[in-house]
Structure 1
């Protein structure tokens, strides 16, 4: 089974080359985006890499859109014929909506997994071949069929550009997957990359406000201020808002990202200084660690090595920010504590939000205690 998996990923075609040819063809007519949500900027950036100019953007009636986004009817008045590029992550739903509109001026409908080939996060065939053994080792560690299917589907989307298999394994219950993560009234929750509180709020709902304490780390000052304001308004109990980045040590690093951005990262070229801390120092009693820290996940885990060895906390770690994270992170955790069981879940229908869940002992629900 593992050899078949390795042969498949090694033989996938280059997706960027294939997308480039498709984008050249669709540019023979005006290119119009359908969708103006979180995914649209990534699609614009991806099209621009191939020299494609977006002639317009439309959204569903009633959607609060950005300036310049209009209705499909207005697009139809501007162009006699045009190609549509779906700028929704949920591309199947978008395709159904477009087909229901039955607009005869639409010459073609296209979708590209723009997340699969972002600069600095592109996984190509040479990389896959070079790290064949590491990918195989991780595949062998995964504890259920859905995890193995998810790993294969994610790599297939990154390498071959086909998001259809990824759509099939998409699950919506991010960080608290039903039937997998067991929460107790004694949880010490570390929210690494807390943003403005979305995951923290989900944790409070899941525990019904019965927990020991929470440590929410958010390095971007504006986001941290919003999170602190939320905590004040809702009178969170035993929640610490920490305006620092998680790392392997306590130091000062550079930080890049616009004020209030959803994704800001530690970077040598960053414009701002940011203080870092470790989980071993700030939350040595952690029982559940969530990390979505824009590529610093491995360093944050190194700063939690003592806590992981001692406590065996539940882990939810994003694997999609860097290609090497797909094998370095699970193999590092296993080196610290070989008794972890690993599960992978995909939480968007495009190649982002891939989360590795690590659980041990009593934190594994009965339905997962035996390998299926």
Structure 2
């Protein structure tokens, strides 16, 4: 199927809005957002909504919801999200009183976990908020040949559908078109960490849950080298790993991956800290190295997997990793969502290094974040 036809056929998975025409709505939210439901949706909620399911439901959660104005009207039962699989005759709405990145991720992932991939999102998602909702109407028209070539490199139909869905989200500005993968991030069925792997992980931040999962997967025979150049993020990550004496196969490196050994200025934005000035974060100096220099200096005898999520510096890191990639032919998991051109430039570059490799695509976030290129060398 051609790329343009695939784009036209991309369904709208998560419409932004509230289906006021429905008469059987199940609202999904977090407990702290309960008081805002009546204020934002209005008293119509008591007529339209049949149940409220809490992502964070526990024994202290309220058991029912009533009108925000006078407490009158029918009570809406409140229950756990675990009840969702039995409610296939309802419109599902994920509700949030304000835009919160983590809630959007965890809420949508929770609903998807129970088998529902199409539902409404009623949250004030900002428009053109960085790369969260980037809107480039002429993206396809301006880059058609490059995008068609990259599309043709993808190995399977699912990867091509994810690729087309991302383009449709970009050209319309509607992130509801994004197609979410049905496997965990970095765990593509064919390209994933395995027992005994030696992993180079570029771009950690202080949130190290993915790295801890890597460590469990690779076991004692494997080793993970995680790179975090931003000092505050490094110190927080180091403190967490030092509190885990059961994890002995994880080395945290206070360096970033770049195209040369140097010192660069970073804008500090937590997990989004990146090379260069811009944004509202503070600016700090960060030390950088290259994949090839690190492997050479530490006498690493084999590299099984390279994961890069370095906030738009993926191509620079790969350019200085050619020796390692050519020698060991590792599996690759590369973020290609930070810059518009990443969607085609990164596959093109890797193809020149590994002409016989196979490309797969995954997407793991209900906005434009976390599109991952999975590369399987021959």
Query: Considering the TM-score relative to the shorter chain, is it more than 0.5?
Result: yes
**Structure 1 counterpart of 2:277:** 268
Report if aligned partners of 1:138, 1:331 keep a CA contact under 8 Å in 2. Answer: yes
Q: In the TM superposition, what whole-angstrom CA distance separates every residue of 1:145-186 from its partner, at most 9, and x where no partner exists? A: 11111111122222224555534x42241112234436242x
Report if aligned partners of 2:131, 2:369 keep a CA contact under 8 Å in 1. Answer: no
Query: Aligned-pair distance for 1:112?
Result: 6.6
Q: What is the DSSP-based 3-state SS (H/G/I as helix, E as strand, rest coil) of the residue aligned with 1:181? A: coil
Query: Aligned-pair distance for 1:194?
Result: 1.7
**Residue 137 of structure 2 is aligned with which of 125, 132, 136?**
125
Report if aligned partners of 2:359, 2:373 keep a CA contact under 8 Å in 1. Answer: yes
**Residue 317 of structure 1 is aligned with which of 318, 328, 334?**
334
Query: Aligned-pair distance for 1:198?
Result: 1.8
**Residue 262 of structure 2 is aligned with which of 229, 238, 251?**
251
Query: Aligned-pair distance for 1:84?
Result: 9.2
Q: What is the DSSP-based 3-state SS (H/G/I as helix, E as strand, rest coil) of the residue aligned with 1:321? A: coil
Query: Aligned-pair distance for 1:249?
Result: 0.9
Structure-2 change in CA distance of 1:227 and 1:327 (3 Å): same
**Structure 2 counterpart of 1:220:** 230
Structure-2 change in CA distance of 1:72 and 1:130 (3 Å): farther
Separation in 2 of the partners of 1:231 and 1:172?
26
Separation in 1 of the partners of 2:55 and 2:370?
28
What does 1:1-372 correspond to in 2, within 5 Å?
A: 1-2=1-2, 5-6=3-4, 9=7, 60=54, 76-77=68-69, 86=96, 88-89=104-105, 90-91=107-108, 111=122, 114=125, 117-119=128-130, 122-163=134-175, 165-167=177-179, 169-181=180-192, 183-185=194-196, 187-195=197-205, 196-211=207-222, 213-235=223-245, 236-258=247-269, 261-269=270-278, 271-284=283-296, 285-361=302-378
Report if aligned partners of 2:215, 2:250 keep a CA contact under 8 Å in 1. Answer: no
Alignment: residue pair count: 307
| TM-score when normalising by structure 2 | 0.67
Separation in 1 of the partners of 2:258 and 2:151?
27
Q: In the TM superposition, what whole-angstrom CA distance separates every residue of 1:259-282 from its partner, at most 9, and x where no partner exists? A: xx2221111356111111111111
Separation in 2 of the partners of 1:214 and 1:255?
24
Separation in 1 of the partners of 2:137 and 2:71?
39
Query: Aligned-pair distance for 1:286?
Result: 2.4
Structure-2 change in CA distance of 1:173 and 1:350 (3 Å): same
Q: What is the DSSP-based 3-state SS (H/G/I as helix, E as strand, rest coil) of the residue aligned with 1:176? A: coil
Report if aligned partners of 1:113, 1:163 keep a CA contact under 8 Å in 2. Answer: no
List structure 1 runs of 4+ shifted beyond 6 angstroms.
Answer: 92-95
Separation in 1 of the partners of 2:195 and 2:216?
13
Structure-2 change in CA distance of 1:182 and 1:229 (3 Å): closer
Query: Aligned-pair distance for 1:199?
Result: 2.1
Separation in 2 of the partners of 1:137 and 1:35?
43
Separation in 1 of the partners of 2:55 and 2:148?
47
Report if aligned partners of 1:345, 1:355 keep a CA contact under 8 Å in 2. Answer: yes
| TM-score when normalising by structure 1 | 0.68
Q: What is the DSSP-based 3-state SS (H/G/I as helix, E as strand, rest coil) of the residue aligned with 1:200? A: helix
Separation in 2 of the partners of 1:280 and 1:199?
24
Report if aligned partners of 1:34, 1:88 keep a CA contact under 8 Å in 2. Answer: no
Structure 2: runs of 5+ lacking an equivalent:
19-27, 34-39, 42-51, 73-92, 97-102, 113-119, 297-301
Q: Which moved more, 1:124-133 or 1:246-255?
A: 124-133
Structure-2 change in CA distance of 1:197 and 1:115 (3 Å): farther
Report if aligned partners of 1:255, 1:265 keep a CA contact under 8 Å in 2. Answer: yes
Q: What is the DSSP-based 3-state SS (H/G/I as helix, E as strand, rest coil) of the residue aligned with 2:303? A: coil
